[in-house]
A and B are shown apart, each in its own frame.
Chain A
């Protein structure tokens, strides 16, 4: 029942969607190089934010360890290309596989016994840091100095597309993939189950939803997407710095974007990234020398403002969004107040 409705909905919005995508893709033709680079970065963040949102927002499990997947996707294929000569696309697939397995492992450790969101956030943070430390210590993955990927090897030289343009399209594809997966999840039974889990785990378990199975599915999907996006972006940026890709700090950025946009919604992460990344780049460009890190301060301030004023993010406050597993329902909030 839900499937038919979703396909009908997709069929309805398809023309607009395709038009929009073509429009965005055309940016490579008219957007100046500087802005195109910002756009590429934005698309990367849109993608990873969507991927994270699958676990952190839609399923309601606050993971701070996704840097493992992104880092793996960024470093492993690059390392394999540079040191073992393995094609980067093969590497990407392998990294995605390893990420998926890591995702299962992390899920198993964390979700075996139902120990709460805080516990999950804490241990995923620890795992993220563990991953960073291990990467920094592994020569094959570039240790602390990172890896340099040759850029500019464009297979499409003949079609007048420079490397930035090609990367833009690749990352657009990646972001669309992430979006597509999220949209698909939200509209199917999986999304429904995840929303139920997010809203009230006890109730969900009581009606027979296998908590562990669905949380793990969300985690694996999210891991694979994060890994792929990591590879694509690493390929574009050329220098793969583990302290950027494999550090929990990147996840903090992503979480902030997603929450500002709207945690758990379909478009929230998109909106958040699209607003915040260019803002950050502009700030970095103007103030980078005099006030390093200003954009991070702004990010932090914005999230505090958003949390206090628009606790459910921009999307929900601006318009209705057909995403499941919405806010804590009003009666429960009142009851919570009544019980101290």
Chain B
């Protein structure tokens, strides 16, 4: 029972970060209808930037957000403006393009940093929190959870109560009416994309401590964000977050109870089973 509780708790913690990754996908998708298949690779890229910042400046990964967020904002903005926006209305082409981007990022990182695993040490890395009967939580995971929840909450508040948030929802629900009301749709799309990028940069910093870093990690992050994204119905943000937690728990349980790679497959199997019964995802509608 202890082990179960521990793994569920841990899954919950990780799941929040997966939820954020998925939410950033959702942000971009809801206003522009595109999914960036290189999403996870941008996380890896951000992590490697943090790594370089560490080796050159000795900067702790948590502190590196100061630089990685603007870098990713710029990069993401450029990516969106020059590559994706011109292909508006052809989401399949965007898929092809982002697949190419995935190859480029992964392999440029490979060329620059080599194929071994890297680690970026952090001040909090080896701290643990002890909770009652034998439940041990790693501090970095707690920090990740906390920040992820705060970011999600901030996102929900912005979307629900600010002018900007209403504009985003408007563009999602009815782009034509949004234009007629005076919303600069292209700017909103750019803003949503940029927010997605900023979220990714922060997530990268959250995931980095204690994680062995490798150029080919990108696909895994894309997948880990994609599962909750689809399960959440692709545009129900609350549903996406909840699905993220679910996926995190599934992954954690799988790792503990089923050994090896089959354990890693548990979230995917759950995903497949859920889709058999509810292809439109677990949740519907919009938050």
Contact = CB atoms under 8 A, between A and B. Distances in A.
A contacts B directly (C-beta below 8 A): yes
Given A130-B272, A137-B260, A311 B226 contact: no
A255 B97 contact: no
Interface in B89-129: 89-93, 95-97, 99-104, 106-108, 110-111, 114-115
Interface in B24-73: 33, 35, 37
A296 B103 contact: yes
Nearest to B171: A340
Interface in A104-131: 109-110, 112-113, 115, 117-119, 121-123, 125-127, 129-130
The majority secondary structure among interface residues of chain A is helix
A259 interface: yes
User: What bracket does the count of chain B residues touching chain A fall in?
Assistant: 35 or more
Nearest to A251: B99
Contact of B92 (A109, A117, A130, A303): A117
Interface stretch (B147-155, B206-214, B273-281): B273-281
A118 B35 contact: yes
Nearest to B111: A291
A144 interface: yes
B92 A62 contact: yes
Contacts of B271: 123, 126, 130
Interface residues of A, number: 54
A138 B262 CA distance: 8
Given A130-B268, A303-B99, A125 B107 contact: no
A263 B96 CA distance: 11
B95 to A, nearest CB: 6
B14 interface: no
Interface stretch (B136-144, B196-204, B227-235, B238-246): B227-235
List of 5 A-B pairs having minimum Cβ-Cβ separation, nearest first: A293-B107, A137-B262, A300-B104, A303-B100, A130-B268
Given A122-B226, A127-B272, A328-B90, 11 more contacts: A117-B95, A118-B91, A118-B234, A130-B268, A143-B261, A252-B103, A259-B96, A292-B107, A292-B110, A296-B107, A297-B103
